[in-house]
Amino acid sequence: MSDSPATDTLVLDLQQMSPFTDYFVICSGENERQLRAIARTVGEGLAQDGVRPARSEGTAASGWMLLDYGDAIIHIFSIDQREFYRLEDLWADAQTVLAIQ
47-92 pLDDT per residue, tens: 999 999 999 999 999 999 999 999 999 999 999 999 999 999 999 9
pLDDT tens per residue across span 17-29: 999 999 999 999 9
With respect to residue 22, please indicate whether it lies within any of the assigned structural domains.
yes
Q: What's the predicted TM-score (pTM) here?
A: 0.93
With respect to residue 2, please indicate whether it lies within any of the assigned structural domains.
no
Structural domain span for residue 26: 7-100
Beta strand ranges found along 1-63 (DSSP E): 7-13, 23-29, 55-59
Question: How many whole angstroms separate alpha carbon 54 and alpha carbon 22?
Answer: 15
Q: How is residue 99 annotated by DSSP? A: E
Per the structure, the count of domains in the chain is 1
User: If we measure between CA atoms, which residue out of 64, 66, 95, 56 comes closest to residue 81?
Assistant: 64
Q: What angle do CA 2, 81, 41 make, to 5 degrees?
A: 25
With respect to residue 58, please indicate whether it lies within any of the assigned structural domains.
yes
Q: Is the pLDDT of residue 101 over 90?
A: no
With respect to residue 96, please indicate whether it lies within any of the assigned structural domains.
yes
With respect to residue 1, please indicate whether it lies within any of the assigned structural domains.
no
**CATH number for the domain that contains residue 20:** 3.30.460.10
